[in-house]
Amino acid sequence: MADNTKNLLEINDLSIHFYLENGIVKAVNNLNFYLKPGETIGLVGETGAGKTTTALGLMRLVQSPPGMIVNGSVNFEGRNLVDLSEAEMRDVRGSQISMIFQDPMTSLNPVIPVRDQIAEVILLHESLSAKEAIEKAEEMLEKVGIQKERSKEYPHQFSGGMRQRVVIAIALACNPKLLIADEPTTALDVTIQAQVLELMKELRVEFDTAMIMITHDLGIVAEICDKVAIMYAGTVVELADKYELFKNPKHPYTLGLFACIPDVEKDKAELKPIKGLMPDPMHLPEGCPFHPRCEQAIEKCKTVVPERLEVNEGHYVNCHLFDGQDMKGGVQ
């Protein structure tokens, strides 16, 4: 078992910008969160919050140019991934950190049997013969619920849910310590989505793998995550244990997200959406990026970027409403 006393991953003040002809897109801004071995964190936020860019930044896969990590560190097992050479990062990807993308069809090669695609990853990172790699690839397919007899088939011969299982098998083939899942069930129907999530939960425990689950679905967070990072305009505005966050959300944006969820126990005529839209990352507002949409905004919010505050043990929030207050209380 992994040592759960130390953080596996620590992201400190990470900023990722894209330099375009007509301006700078500030996709990720001074982002902070940490992850312990075997733990799962959910990155939650609207489209455009910077969730996928964060994941690509961790993997050092941000296209450069125009993208660039302009600030901060990504410490993985004590090494800052930002400082590694491309050759060193190739050793990390797949063997220590793996990623599952939204659309499995874009992740798989259409002209290579799925068995060979898994074996390719194994041969790249492990000292096995081609025959042993094929055998391990078939074992991985069995683990994700695909019969060995289908291992020589091509991606187009599988359903969407089956293709996502193949991608999971590739991601876990070398037993990575960290798995990044970028909305892995978005393209699947509800029944298949539940099956894939259950499979990921089981394999995460079996392989003792930490996981970053990128999603906009708080139901998935409740199902699979240990803690939650709420992202807005490229930064984490609230970070807490899952139970603490669902029971005691603090940031006005988090409260707004929960207000958008239907409650089957209450008879509501309509939901209360968050007014306005996510800000343009090329023209972020001064101060708190959420203040133009926030019903609780004060004058300070318009000019001063809020600092990270610990409102309860392990519960962090970036909001001026908690400046100088009793940290055990705060605004409800």
- 254-276 pLDDT, tens per residue? 999 988 887 777 766 677 888 88
> Rounded distance, CA 72 to CA 69, Å?
8
Q: Is the pLDDT of residue 243 over 90?
A: yes
Q: Is the pLDDT of residue 330 over 50?
A: no
> Rounded distance, CA 111 to CA 154, Å?
7
pLDDT at position 86: 93
Residue 210 neighbours by CB under 8 Å, 6+ apart: 8, 9, 35, 36, 37, 38, 39, 40, 177, 178, 179
Using pLDDT thresholds of 50, 70 and 90, give the confidence band for residue 331.
very low
pLDDT at position 184: 87
pLDDT at position 3: 58
273-301: average pLDDT: 93
- Which pLDDT tens digit goes with each residue over 95-119? 999 999 877 778 899 999 999 999 9
Point out the least confidently predicted range of 30-44, 62-76, 179-193, 225-239. 179-193
Instruction: Compute the residue count for the chain.
Output: 332
Q: Is the pLDDT of residue 189 over 70?
A: yes
- Which pLDDT tens digit goes with each residue over 136-179? 999 999 999 999 999 999 999 999 899 999 999 999 999 999 99
Using pLDDT thresholds of 50, 70 and 90, give the confidence band for residue 328.
very low
Q: Is the pLDDT of residue 329 over 50?
A: no
Residue 34 neighbours by CB under 8 Å, 6+ apart: 7, 9, 10, 11
Mean per-residue pLDDT of the chain: 90
241-259: average pLDDT: 94
User: Among the residues of 157-267, which ranges form H helices?
Assistant: 160-172, 190-207, 218-224, 242-247, 252-259
Using pLDDT thresholds of 50, 70 and 90, give the confidence band for residue 9.
very high
Amino acid at the residue 150? R
291-322 burial: b if 16+ Cβ within 10 Å, else e: bebbeebeeebeeeebeebebbeebbbbbbbb
Structural Rg of the chain based on CA atoms: 21
> Rounded distance, CA 325 to CA 312, Å?
12
pLDDT at position 327: 44
